[in-house]
C-alpha cells in the first residue's frame, strides 16, 4: 500500500526485454535505498513492483507484459526519470490517500498551463471505464502522485500542481501528448460499483 506522496526521483539505468517480462534496473538515491530488500514493494510511476535484485544503489524489477501494456513504463528508455514511493509501514503518516499501485490505464495529457508557481495539467477522459469514477474534488493518482481533480468536463479533467509537487516529481517535465499512469481512488470505485450493482437489482 502507498499514499501517493512521492519520496524521490530515480533514473532508469537499463531495460532488458525478455520473453515474458522486462527487467528494469533503477538507480536509487541513498535515502530511497534504506532498508530495501528482495521482495520489497516499491511504487514506480504509481506501479507497485517487487524488488528482484539489489546491487549497491542499483535496484532491479521485473515488469510483466500486462503491466507494460497498461502503463507508461513501456515508453521509458535509459536516463528517463521515475517517481518513487516506498510502501507504507505501520505508523507512517498517510499524507495523500490510500493507493494500491494497481494502475487502471494510462491517459494522455491534452493541455498544460504553466506559471511561475503552479501548473495546471488537463488530461483526456474518453475511456468509459474511467469516466464513472472521476469526480470534481475527488482523489486521483497520476504517475504515483496523489492529486485532487480541480475541473471536470465530459471528455477531460484537470489537476493543479503546487510548487512542492513541481519540485519533487516528474510531472512538471511532461509535455502535451505524454501519457501518465492513472489509478482511481479505491473507495470511489467501491462506492460507484456497489451503487451500480444495487440499482440493477
User: Which residue, chain included where needed, has cell 484537470?
Assistant: 158
**Residues 70, 23 share a domain:** yes
Domain harbouring 74, CATH code: 2.40.30.20
pLDDT of residue 78: 97
**Residues 193, 113 share a domain:** yes
**Residues 195, 127 share a domain:** yes
How many Cα neighbours within 13 Å face the side chain of 120? 10
Per-residue pLDDT of the chain (201 residues; tens, 9 = 90+): 899 999 999 999 999 999 899 999 999 999 999 999 999 999 999 999 999 999 999 999 999 999 999 999 999 999 999 999 999 876 666 777 889 999 999 999 999 998 877 789 999 998 888 888 999 999 999 999 999 999 999 899 999 999 889 889 999 889 999 999 999 888 777 788 888 778 876
pLDDT of residue 197: 79
**Residues 130, 76 share a domain:** no
How many Cα neighbours within 13 Å face the side chain of 192? 14
Residue 172 DSSP class: G
**Residues 121, 72 share a domain:** no
For residue 11, the surrounding DSSP H or E stretch is strand 8-17
What range defines the domain where residue 14 resides? 8-86
Residue 3 lies in a domain: no
Residue 93 lies in a domain: no
The answer to whether 141 and 182 have CB atoms below 8 angstroms apart is yes
Q: What sign for the dihedral angle of Cα 131, 174, 86, 14?
A: positive
pLDDT of residue 63: 97
Task: Please state, in angstroms and rounded to a whole number, the distance separating the CA atoms of residues 12 and 10.
Answer: 7
**Residues 81, 16 share a domain:** yes
Domains in the chain, number: 2
pLDDT of residue 91: 64
pLDDT of residue 60: 98
pLDDT of residue 5: 93
Amino acid at each position: 500500500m502507498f499514499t501517493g506522496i512521492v519520496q524521490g526521483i530515480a533514473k532508469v539505468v537499463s531495460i532488458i526485454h525478455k520473453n515474458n517480462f522486462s527487467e528494469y534496473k533503477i538507480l536509487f538515491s541513498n535515502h530511497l535505498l534504506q532498508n530495501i530488500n528482495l521482495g520489497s514493494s516499491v511504487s514506480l510511476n504509481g506501479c507497485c513492483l517487487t524488488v528482484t535484485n539489489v546491487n549497491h544503489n542499483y535496484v532491479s524489477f521485473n515488469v510483466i507484459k500486462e503491466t507494460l501494456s497498461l502503463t507508461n513504463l513501456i515508453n521509458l528508455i535509459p536516463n528517463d526519470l521515475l517517481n518513487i514511493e516506498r510502501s507504507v509501514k505501520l505508523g507512517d503518516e498517510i499524507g495523500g490517500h490510500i493507493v494500491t499501485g494497481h494502475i487502471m490505464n494510462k491517459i494522455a495529457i491534452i493541455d498544460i498551463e504553466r506559471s511561475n508557481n503552479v501548473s495546471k495539467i488537463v488530461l483526456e477522459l474518453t475511456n468509459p471505464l474511467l469516466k464513472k469514477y472521476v469526480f470534481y474534488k475527488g482523489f486521483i493518482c497520476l504517475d504515483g502522485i496523489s492529486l485532487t481533480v480541480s475541473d471536470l468536463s465530459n471528455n477531460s479533467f484537470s489537476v493543479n500542481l503546487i510548487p512542492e509537487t513541481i519540485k519533487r516529481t516528474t510531472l512538471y517535465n511532461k509535455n502535451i501528448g505524454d501519457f501518465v499512469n492513472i489509478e482511481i481512488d479505491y473507495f470511489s470505485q467501491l462506492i460507484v460499483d456497489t451503487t451500480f450493482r444495487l440499482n440493477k437489482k
